[in-house]
Amino acid sequence: MHSSDIWDDEDERRHKLMVDAVHDHGALASIELHHGGAHAMRRLSREHALSPSGLAGELPPPAGPLGTPKIMTVEDIDRVEQSFVDAAVRGRNAGYDIVDVLAGYGYLFAQFLSPFHNHRNDRYGGSLENRARFWVETLSRVRDAVGADCAIATRMSVQTQGPWGHTLEESAALIEMADPLVDLWDLNVGSVLDWGSDISPSRVIPEGRNMDLFTRIRGATEKPIVGVSRWTSPDSMAQAVRSGVIDIIGSARQSIADPFFPQKLYEGRTEDIRECMGINHCISSLDRGNMACAQNATAGEEYRRGWHPERFEPLEDKNASILVVGAGPAGLEAAIGLAKRGAEMVHLVDSADQVGGHLRPVVELPGLREWGRFIDHRLIQVDKLSNLQFIPATTLDADAILDYGASHVVIATGARWLRNGLTPSTHAALPGLDGLKWVFTPEQLLLGGERPTPGCRVSVYDAEGGYLGSSLAQLLANEGYNVSIVTPHASVAAEGDLTLDGPAVRSSLHASGVAMYRDVLLTEAGLGVLRGVGEFEVPFSLETDAAVLVTMRSPVDDLYQQLMADRQALDASGIDAVYCIGDALSPRPLAEVMFDGHRLAREFESPDPSSPLPYKRESLRLVD
Ligand code: ADP
């Protein structure tokens, strides 16, 4: 998921390896050529950024790295055009079938197209035709260089939020202008400044939302259009293509969640599709340096850990009979993996009536319905696997586990939210909580227990900063309470700034009348009041009737501890090994606990399945 270079023969050779592999599978390969312009991060090149603007210093880029970019001279323009041509030629030589010139996302060409950025008064600025010249010239030169061998595509954002893009009407005119040079249009919405419009989170943007916009520009071209719109459902994809508005589905996240999506569709196995839930863990984890997926544990691990997304190596011990306690995300994933590996019997036992664990009530929260795909997909697999049995409404204690007759036991009993206000920053419980009429943990609210008196003041203390605090605040506001949210993070729903739903979530809270306090660390509660300190030690106090504490979770691991404490009893029971996974081991986000279960299943017969095997790292080979 990192962009790569195509500057020299060695780069070309590396690309060819990948392109050949793509061709071996009967697919076409496309290369997207990109210049960030004013938004170039310059991490490795350490060059200055480039910008079209003619107003030196007066119009710095509205975001991006520090500094005012250099205004491009006509020579710079020519040099960059030639760089696109050189890259296209190398792409063609590496075997790519499609060369895509990126003109979207608010990057270099989009900056020229935008009247907000482009204030030039030469032939590259002013009228729409002039603003489009750099891009059209580049397309033309790329077409002349490789157009006989490759299809030429260009990615354009048909609409962006805020003032920095161009309008939909201008998009239609631009499409008409460049149409003769293009074989394929690759259309999206949004820019680097409103990334969430493009990589839209399901929490705030429905699937297919861009179709209205695409409909309005369809008349501008008869060439095929690739359209993105968080497509995940085969039915809506088919409908979009049948409508004639777009011709090809662009859907990166669905390919991450299930790389075998097209094959499953082709084979009519739609029930096996792992549908992307739009949780955007791919984006937040990419920002942290390693792209991962909350639906698909194998994403990014195919080479590194040798995990095929669909194939599971059979267990050597065909007689393994495995008891998994807890059917939350971790237990479910472990049980399914072990059943797919051919364990003789996997029993998945839960106190609850249904699978899903902590995620089950979460999907009822405002906007989180699509996260339920995590459970739906796994439920179908549980039903299909004859060696996997879900046993609901059964609470096991240590004795029951010892008597169960299993050869292996996996404890996936989850975690619970603390009710004492302990946070990682204070390392202490919040004193004085008795002074409030009501104190709730998230579970108490989620499971539909007691609620405060209708209309009273409720404060959500979100020291965690994940999705839950803001979702509960929204829920309570929808229920008519007078809601505040307090967080020690620099923004409310801080993680949302990485999963790209933060701005929309905050807007929605604001529109619902939720008061938001950020950068506040609570230090104590009193009679009807919460007190703390804001930035620069500024005292903070908030009158409230109820507090909802979203601070930290502690593992529910007593079963595991009890079993491990009595080795003799374990030996006598015939249990070979007991493992603890998921939130019961260490409370973490969904993607990580799911990964835990998957990893255990994959490495079940390693010398020490509790500890992950080393994975392949990138390294330079030392030569004598
Ligand atoms: P994770 O996120 O690690 O998968 P969850 O909290 O989602 O964990 O799920 C834990 C599940 O374990 C819950 O569904 C809970 O009902 C179940 N559970 C906890 N203790 C027991 C027990 N003693 N017997 C059976 N099920 C249990």
φ/ψ (deg, to 5) at 237: -65, -45
Which residue has the CA at smallest separation from atom 20 of ligand 1? 413
In ligand 1, the atom with minimum distance to the C-alpha of 584 is 3
Band of residue 57 on the pLDDT scale cut at 50, 70, 90: very low
Q: What is the CA radius of gyration of the chain?
A: 27
Out of 96, 107, 467, 517, the active site residue is 107
Say how far apart CA 371 and CA 170 lie, in whole Å. 37
Q: Which atom of ligand 1 is nearest to the CA of 415?
A: 6
> Average pLDDT, whole number, for the chain?
94
pLDDT of residue 93: 98
pLDDT of 396 higher than 60: yes
Q: Which residue has the higher pLDDT, 123 or 192?
A: 123
pLDDT value, residue 592: 97
Helices (H), 352-493: 359-362, 373-384, 398-402, 442-446, 467-478
Residue 327 Cα to ligand 1 middle (Å): 6
Q: If you measure from the C-alpha of residue 584 to the centroid of ligand 1, how many angstroms do you get, rounded to a whole number? A: 8
pLDDT of 190 > 50? The answer is yes
- Distance (angstroms) between ligand 1 centre and the Cα of 203 equals 25
> SS3 for 50?
strand
Tens of pLDDT, residues 431-468 = 999 999 999 999 999 998 889 999 999 999 999 999 99
* Ligand 1 center–CA 229 separation, angstroms: 35
Shortest-distance Cα residue to atom 13 of ligand 1: 357
**Residue 350 is which amino acid?**
D
For ligand 1, mutation pick of 350, 359, 580 (most atoms within 8 Å of CB): 350
**Cα within 13 Å of Cα(174), Cβ side:** 32
Separation CA 406–CA 347 (nearest Å)? 9
pLDDT tens column, 245-254: 999 999 999 9
Q: Containing H/E element for 13? A: helix 9-24
Instruction: Give the residue, out of 324, 333, 351, with the most ligand 1 atoms within 8 A of its beta carbon, to mutate for a pocket test.
Output: 351
Provide the residue type at 530 as one letter.
Answer: L
Q: Which atom of ligand 1 is nearest to the CA of 583?
A: 3
- The Cα 326–Cα 430 span in angstroms is 31
Give residue 180's pLDDT.
98
In the structure, what pLDDT confidence band is assigned to residue 1 with cuts at 50, 70 and 90? Answer: very low
Ligand 1 pocket residues where CB is under 6 Å? 325-331, 349-352, 357-359, 395-396, 412-415, 556, 559, 582-584, 593
Atom of ligand 1 nearest to the CA of 585: 3
Cβ(478)–Cβ(452) below 8 Å: no
Q: What is the pLDDT of residue 449?
A: 84
Instruction: Give the residue carrying structure tokens 């491990």.
Output: 564
Neighbours of 612 (CB within 10 A): 15
DSSP, collapsed to helix, strand or coil, labels residue 323 as strand
Q: For ligand 1, atom 24, name the residue with the nearest CA.
A: 395
pLDDT at 44: 82
Per-residue CA distances from 563 to 303, 398, 413, 605 (Å): 36, 6, 13, 21
Counting ligand 1 atoms within 8 A of each CB, the residue from 375, 413, 417 with the most, and so the one to mutate, is 413
Q: What pLDDT, on a 0 to 100 scale, did the predictor assign at position 183? A: 98
Judging by DSSP bridges, how do beta strands 515-517 and 482-486 pair with one another? parallel
Calculate how far, in angstroms, residue 414's C-alpha sits from the geometric centre of ligand 1. 5
Q: Residue of the nearest CA to atom 19 in ligand 1?
A: 413
- The reported pLDDT for the residue numbered 117 is 85
Ligand 1 centroid to Cα of residue 29, in Å, is 44
Question: What one-character-per-residue DSSP string does 254-323 give?
Answer: HHHH-TTHHHHHHTT-GGG--------HHHHHHHTTS---SS-TTTTTTTTS---SS--PPPS-TT-EEE
- Domains of the chain (ranges; CATH) run 9-250 (3.20.20.70), 321-414+556-602 (3.40.50.720), 433-554 (3.50.50.60)
Per-residue pLDDT tens for 91-116?
Answer: 999 999 999 999 988 899 999 999 88
**Structure tokens, 292:** 């991962």
Ligand 1 atom with the shortest distance to the CA of 332? 4
Per-residue pLDDT band for 355 (boundaries 50, 70, 90) equals: very high
CA 353–ligand 1 middle distance (angstroms): 11
Whether the per-residue pLDDT at 470 is higher than 90: the answer is yes
> Cα(186)–Cα(101) distance, rounded to whole angstroms?
10
CA dihedral 400, 405, 409, 413 (to 10 degrees): -30
Checking if the pLDDT of 243 tops 70, the result is yes
The Å distance, Cα 556 to ligand 1 centre, comes to 8
Checking if the pLDDT of 477 tops 80, the result is yes
Q: How confident is the model at residue 64 (pLDDT cuts 50, 70, 90)?
A: low
Q: How confident is the model at residue 55 (pLDDT cuts 50, 70, 90)?
A: low
Q: How far is the CA of 499 from the centre of ligand 1 (A)?
A: 26
| pLDDT tens-place string over residues 123-168 | 999 999 999 999 999 999 999 999 999 999 999 999 887 777 888 9
Q: How far apart are CA 112 and CA 117, in angstroms?
A: 7
Mean pLDDT score, 64-82: 89
What is the rounded average pLDDT of the residues 534-541?
96
Q: Is the pLDDT of residue 293 over 90?
A: yes
Ligand 1 atom index nearest CA of 352: 16
pLDDT-derived band at 621 (thresholds 50, 70, 90) equals confident
Q: Catalytic annotation on 124?
A: no
Q: How far is the CA of 324 from the centre of ligand 1 (A)?
A: 10
Return contacts of 285-290, CB within 8 angstroms, 24+ apart.
285/591, 286/1, 287/498, 288/498
pLDDT band at residue 405 using 50, 70 and 90 as cut-offs? very high
Which residue owns the Cα nearest ligand 1 atom 26? 350
Tell me what percent of the residues of the chain surpass a pLDDT of 70: 98
Cβ–Cβ < 8 Å for 226, 153: yes
